[in-house]
Every structure is written in C-alpha cells, then in structure tokens.
Amino acid sequence: MKQNLLAESSTPDQNTKMAGRSYDNESMSSGFRQEPQIAILIPCYNEEITVGKVIDDFRRELPTAAIYVFDNCSTDSTSRIAEEHGAILLKECRPGKGFVVESMFACIKADFYVLVDGDDSYPAEYVHKLLEPVVLGGADMVVGGRLSQYADESFRNLHVFGNRLVCVLVNWIGHSRLTDIMSGYRAFNRKVVKRIPVVSSGFEVETDLTLQMLYYNLKILEIEVPYRKRPEGSQSKLRTFQDGFRVLWKIFTLLRSLKPLTFFGAVGLLLFFLGILTGILPIYDYFTDPQHYVRHVPLAILAAALMILSSGCVFLGILLHALNWRLRELHNVLTRGQ
C-alpha cells in the first residue's frame, strides 16, 4: 500500500486502541485530497550509523514524501550522511528533543506528518498503518505502541517499568487507555501542529504532546509496531534516572496547569484533614476544661493555619479552573478552521 492511502475507507484493526474524544471534519476532508503532502520528520543526535538507512527505508515506503532530518548538535557525520541520502537537512542548535519538535512544528508545512527517531528501531513498513487512520479522518494522531512486540535488549533496565508508570499517570489524568506514552513513532495531521503547544525541551516531549492532545480533545489511536534493538555501535541518548525524573516532573506540572481544580483541590483536602488531626487536642482541651483553657496552644495555631491554607488552595483551584476554561474557549476560537 505504498503511497496509496486514499484508495478506500477502512477501520483500524483489532490491535488498535483508542483514546481522546472528538475530531472535526478537517481531517476527513483532508483525507480525500488527491495528493496530500506528507512530511517525514527525523530528529537526530549522533546517528551516523543509522540515519542513512532510515532515510532510504522511508523513501522506499513513501517515495513522494518530503524527508526532513533535524540535526540536534551532532558531532559526528550525521548531517553529511543525511544530505548524501537526499534528505532535507535542518539544524537545531538548542540541545534537546523538545526543541527539535518545536522547530519541526514551526518550520514544516504539510498535510500529514510522520515523526520517527533516527536510530532505526522502528520499521518503516508500518508507516502506512500509522498514516491510514489519520488520512481517512479517523484520528488526529496515531502512535506506534512498542510494548507488546519488542526485541531483547531493545529496552534498558527499568525503561519498561518507567514507561508503564508514566502510562498509568497519564491515563488517570487524561481518562484514556494508552499503553505507550513515550513512543517516538507517530503520524499526525496539520491540526495537531496548529493547535498543540510544545513547551518541553527534552525527552519528555512525547508525554507533553500526549497530555496536550487529551486536554484539547484531539483523538489518539495506538497501533502496535515491532520495536527493534539498536544496531551495534548505536547508543541510546535516553538517561534513565535524569530523563525519567523530567518526565514525572512534566506530568506533575501539566496536572497543575491543565487541571488546577483537581490539583489544588486535592492539596486543600489534604491540608483540611491535617488541620482536623492537629486540632483534635486543642478542641478536646476546650470542651473538657471548665474554664475552656487550651493547653496545646501551638497545635491550635498550626490547626488554624492549616485550615486557612486549605481554604486558600480550594479557592485558588476554583479560580484557576475558571481562568483555564475561558482560555480554552479562546484557544478554540483562535484555532478554529486550522
């Protein structure tokens, strides 16, 4: 099915998992264009061993697509090899995958996009399965889930556990059923590029994109794809603990920003119960002493302070929730038709 994505309408296969809530007619109308513009976006940092093969594989599968390699401060021959294999080379001088994705969204104009890592761990022949639901209007983004078909040693220790932990948190926040939040193999439409802000700098960008998609009610599908081991000599740039902490911190900050009533309401409830616990002894003193003398004065002051903070957190959550709602309405008006 090379480059013949518009031949007939079909539904995703049984391995496809859904998340999100809605999509409008833009993606569907885009799916019936005669020759949609497809852009292959390949972020690279020191991928001289694999980038040439990745370019050739995707050109074989999508011969009319434009292939862009974004060199993110490589110190090897990545740029030269990419140009030799016919890719359009762009450079991002700010180190970090998030900055690369931000530049991709800002610089590249197309109808449909495929984002794939340059390490040759994702099979190019699955690009049609990823693109088909997007082209036909069944999804705004399709993610290649890796956790059911991966080779031995393709993941380092703790990476599968960390990915599943992130999935649990993201699914709880976004009310979704995703299985692989951090996959670097995605297909999406122009609506995603126009509507989703990219505010991450590093490897947490996939988590950021997913949560933003769910927040703005864009539709995500998952299609399981094999995940290969990196070739000999190719090293992963992901740092287990440092990048894992950054992903968890991103989830925390997005929960605080996107769902302030949930976040500050939970903090307010916690402070309220702590205030009740610390106030038990002062209240007992007051009701049992004939003179209503409170002997546990420090606890009484702490309990009062906790109750005041609790009320303040709940009020702040309600206020920020109202502001978020108005900003979301404004965002929808400003991005309407894009």
Q: What is the pLDDT of residues 89-142, one digit of tens each?
A: 999 999 999 999 999 999 999 999 999 999 999 999 999 999 999 999 999 999
Tell me the average pLDDT across 254-269.
Answer: 93
Tell me how far apart the 2 most distant CA atoms of the chain are, in Å: 91
State both tokens at 284: 């007992």
Q: How confident is the model at residue 9 (pLDDT cuts 50, 70, 90)?
A: very low
- Sequence-ordered list of residues with C-beta below 8 angstroms from that of 8, at least 6 positions apart, any chain: none
pLDDT at 7 over 50: no
Alpha carbon distance 29, 165 (integer Å): 37
Cα separation values, 307 from 18, 47, 316, 333, Å: 42, 55, 14, 40
**pLDDT band with cut points at 50, 70 and 90 for residue 44:** very high
What's the mean pLDDT in 30-43?
77
Looking at the predicted structure, is the pLDDT value of residue 64 above 80? yes
For residues 279-294, average pLDDT: 89
Q: What's this model's pTM, rounded to 2 decimal places?
A: 0.76
Pairing of the two strands 88-91 and 112-115 = unpaired
Q: Is the pLDDT of residue 144 over 80?
A: yes
Per-residue model confidence (pLDDT) at position 50: 94
How far apart are the C-alpha atoms of 95 and 246, rounded to whole Å? 15
Among 23-32, 78-87, 187-196, 273-282, name the one with the lowest average pLDDT.
23-32
φ, ψ at 17 (rounded to 5°): -115, 145
Contact 100, 237 (CB under 8 A): no
Whether residue 317 contacts residue 261, with contact meaning beta carbons closer than 8 Å, is answered with yes
pLDDT at 328: 86
Q: How confident is the model at residue 332 (pLDDT cuts 50, 70, 90)?
A: confident
> Which whole number is the average pLDDT over 4-24?
40
Give the whole-angstrom CA distance, residue 141 versus residue 325: 24
pLDDT at site 29: 43
Which pLDDT belongs to residue 151? 52
Region 3-25: what's the mean pLDDT?
40
pLDDT at 79 (0 to 100):
95
Share of the chain above pLDDT 90, in %: 56
Question: Which of the four pLDDT bands, split at 50, 70 and 90, describes residue 14?
Answer: very low
264 or 258, greater pLDDT: 264
Q: Please state, in angstroms and rounded to a whole number, the distance separating the CA atoms of residues 317 and 303.
A: 21
Under 8 Å between Cβ of 223 and 130: yes
- Contact of 201 with 98, CB cutoff 8 Å: yes
What mean pLDDT, rounded, does the chain reach? 84
Q: What is the mean pLDDT of residues 170-195?
A: 91
Residue 145, classed as helix, strand or coil, is: strand
**Residue 24 pLDDT exceeds 50:** no
- Residue 136 one-letter amino acid: L
- Taking the C-alpha atoms of residue 141 and residue 153, their distance in angstroms, rounded to an integer, is 28
pLDDT at 45 over 90: yes
In sequence order, the 6+-apart residues with CB closer than 8 A to the CB of 253 are none
